[in-house]
Amino acid sequence: MTTSSPAIPDIFKNTSVSNALKAIADKVFNGQRISPEEGVILYKEAELGFLGTLANFVREKKNGNYVYFNHNFHVEPTNVCVYSCAFCSYSRLIKNADQGWELSVDQILDIVKTYDNQDVTEVHITGGVVPKQDLAFYTELFRKIKQHRPNLHIKALTPVEFHYIFKKAKLSYEDGLKTMKDAGLDSLPGGGAEIFDEQIREQIAGGKCTSEEWLTLHEIWQKMGNFSNATMLYGHIESFEHRIDHMERLRQLQDRTGGFNAFIPLKFRNKENAMAHVPEVSVIEDLRNYAIARIYLDNFTHIKAYWAMIGRNTAQLSLNYGTDDLDGTIDDTTKIYSMAGSEEQAPKLSTQQLVDLIQAVGKIPVQRDTLYNIVKEY
């Protein structure tokens, strides 16, 4: 969907806006890509109103007034994990496995079957990393889900799990991903990206797949003709430069493949984890971050506000700061964010609640499937 280019709004001709910001606005309104240096200037200098105007312009060019959501549910096969990321409130170390859960293939299938009479289109499967949940486990699980419900889109696992599972199975990334796809895997969620800067990653998520490995796995998957999402964990010990570096690496990969559906900024929540002493950023910073992501990632069609993590009120506000997607109904099936201190302690929204929330800010609700095919416009 496209709209014609407007005249530069008067607020940007005002002398209180620096020449550097005016030059960035000029580029954005002319459909030109901004540089990493300009991205950092936006983080350091631009106020929220300025960013909102630019982000809205880009958003409307790409998605008009549409706001997308889907009917989905999550399955978290385990909250036990061989890793111990400092920001994670959810996982239990493998030595404390008795404090966690580890579902079997049949237990997961039973959860999937509880949705038999509901019009969900997607199951999102991800959780901790444990030796038992290996290649055989996931291929059996995907096959059984597809046998039971062939049209249910399986969005599952991240490079964190793939790297661990394929290494153990002595498979190359190519062969491993092909095996997963043959078993029924449809697309990849965006998790495990955290922050790509190697030094910060080592401090908050040391030991799991590297940034290079995360990007390589997505590149191979996408070059096989498939789609995936990308996330960025922000608002902890990273700098603005690190956020731009993260988005720059994604923008370059997207130029090569076009395989990312959506970018999902994830706000660091600080409850009951090893980084509880790090304060959370403000809602203003959340909105600025969404807007800069929308401006910077000119080759991503969708920016998702994941309401289970950010809370429905901030997610709703963000629709005027560049986001166009709210994820889905979720049905109270994820614990990752409630355990980390999200406002949403039992994340579940009905279609009507999502529709009302979107219409209240003057936008058009659109139910989609995982690949953004339109199911219904409201």
Partner whose binding site includes residue 84, from ligand SF4, ligand V47, none (CB under 5 to 8 Å by kind): ligand SF4
DSSP H helical ranges for 83-128: 105-113
Contact 216, 254 (CB under 8 A): no
Q: Which is nearer to ligand SF4, 198 or 377 (CB)?
A: 198
- DSSP conformational letter for 368: E
Q: Which residues of 74-103 are buried (b: 16+ CB within 10 A; e: fewer)?
A: bbbbbbbbebebebbbbbbebeebeebeeb
Q: Which is nearer to ligand SF4, 84 or 351 (CB)?
A: 84
Q: Which is nearer to ligand V47, 316 or 342 (CB)?
A: 342
Partner whose binding site includes residue 208, from ligand SF4, ligand V47, none (CB under 5 to 8 Å by kind): ligand SF4
| Residue 268 binds ligand SF4 (CB under 6 A) | no
Of 87-95, 132-140, 323-331, 360-368, which segment contacts ligand SF4 by CB under 6 A?
Answer: 87-95
Phi, psi angle pair for 228, to nearest 5° = -155, 175
Q: Shortest gap between Cβ of 39 and ligand V47 (angstroms)?
A: 21
- Rounded CA separation 176/271 (Å): 35
Q: Which is nearer to ligand SF4, 50 or 87 (CB)?
A: 87
- Rounded CA separation 222/231 (Å): 16
H/E stretch holding 258: none
Q: Shortest gap between Cβ of 64 and ligand SF4 (angstroms)?
A: 35
Q: Which is nearer to ligand SF4, 24 or 160 (CB)?
A: 160
Partner whose binding site includes residue 28, from ligand SF4, ligand V47, none (CB under 5 to 8 Å by kind): none
Q: Which of residues 200-229 bind ligand SF4 (CB under 6 A)?
A: 205, 208
Of 44-52, 66-74, 76-84, 255-263, which segment contacts ligand SF4 by CB under 6 A?
Answer: 76-84
- Rounded CA separation 88/69 (Å): 26
Q: Which is nearer to ligand V47, 242 or 269 (CB)?
A: 269
Which parts of this chain interact with ligand V47 (CB under 6 A)?
Answer: 87-89, 189-192, 194, 229, 231, 233, 264, 266, 268-269, 273, 306, 327, 336, 340
Q: How many CB atoms lie within 10 A of CB 312?
A: 18
- Give the residue from 262, 242, 257 showing the smallest Cα distance to 322: 262
Partner whose binding site includes residue 233, from ligand SF4, ligand V47, none (CB under 5 to 8 Å by kind): ligand V47
Q: Which is nearer to ligand SF4, 202 or 377 (CB)?
A: 202
232, β-bridge pairs: 265
In whole angstroms, how far apart are CA 124 and each of 76, 187, 232, 318, 353?
A: 8, 9, 18, 23, 21
Q: Shortest gap between Cβ of 108 and ligand V47 (angstroms)?
A: 18
| Residue 91 binds ligand SF4 (CB under 6 A) | yes
Burial class (CB in 10 A: 0-12, 13-18, 19+), 212: exposed
Give contact residues for ligand SF4 (rule: CB under 6 A): 81, 83-85, 88, 90-91, 128-129, 160, 205, 208
